[in-house]
Amino acid sequence: MEPVSVTALSFTEYAMSGQRGRINIVSEQRSIYLAVDQWVCGFYNPVRAAMRRAANSTDPGAELDVALDGATRSGQLRAFGEIRDGFLPWLRSTRATGVAMPSAVWRSGDLELRVRPQLGLRFPDGSVSAVLVHCKEQEMTQEAANVGLRVVQQALPGLGALVLDARRGRAFRLSRRTNLAKLDALIAAEAAGYVVHWRMSA
């Protein structure tokens, strides 16, 4: 049987969902991934592209305004406005600049995760981080972020890892106190659960 292949960010958002919400989120993700009409996909792509441009712009606000001006789909204007309001103060506080990011594939059992950071940042101390950017309305939690952070850490060794809740301008890192053995066991269990939910929703 072919492995289930989704992005690391989709898997992280699955980890955010309570037990009742997981089947729903997998069904929603499955319909998007398998959609013939690509218009179904990419709701947040314009604002993510604007965030990447903003990281290297002398006027980052103007880059986000471009996304707002092009918001034509239902719900985009409000969503992009909230992202702008959360992302810009956070970006300015980091004093970071944008850098290109590699991509990778990481596997756990029958789940294949495509690790494609939405943003790469070089910080004033010279460190570079791959950033998974969460744009949706549901608030990111540290517990869920840890899943994405560990996947990025393993898929892109040598880079720092961040999960950014863009609407709230809050970035998550793995604590040095994190028990990696327990986290790896949790990720393996979550990956198995994701595959079961995906196949049951077929």
Largest Cα–Cα separation, the chain:
50
Segment 107-111 long-range contacts (CB within 8 Å, at least 24 positions apart): 107/3, 108/187, 108/188, 108/191, 108/192, 109/188, 109/191, 109/192, 109/195, 110/1, 110/3, 110/4, 110/191, 110/192, 110/195, 111/3, 111/4, 111/5, 111/6, 111/11, 111/191, 111/192, 111/194, 111/195
Domain that holds residue 61: 4-200
Q: Taking 90 as the threshold, does the pLDDT of residue 178 lie above it?
A: yes
Q: Taking 70 as the threshold, does the pLDDT of residue 202 lie above it?
A: no
pTM: 0.90
Task: Tell me the pLDDT tens digit for each residue of 117-175.
Answer: 999 999 999 999 999 999 999 999 999 999 999 999 999 999 999 999 999 999 999 99
The predicted structure's pLDDT at residue 39: 44
Task: Tell me the pLDDT tens digit for each residue of 68-127.
Answer: 999 999 999 999 999 999 999 999 999 999 999 999 999 999 999 999 999 999 999 999
Mean pLDDT computed over 13-33:
77
How many folded domains does the chain comprise? 1
The predicted structure's pLDDT at residue 27: 78
The band of 35, judged by pLDDT with boundaries at 50, 70 and 90, is: low
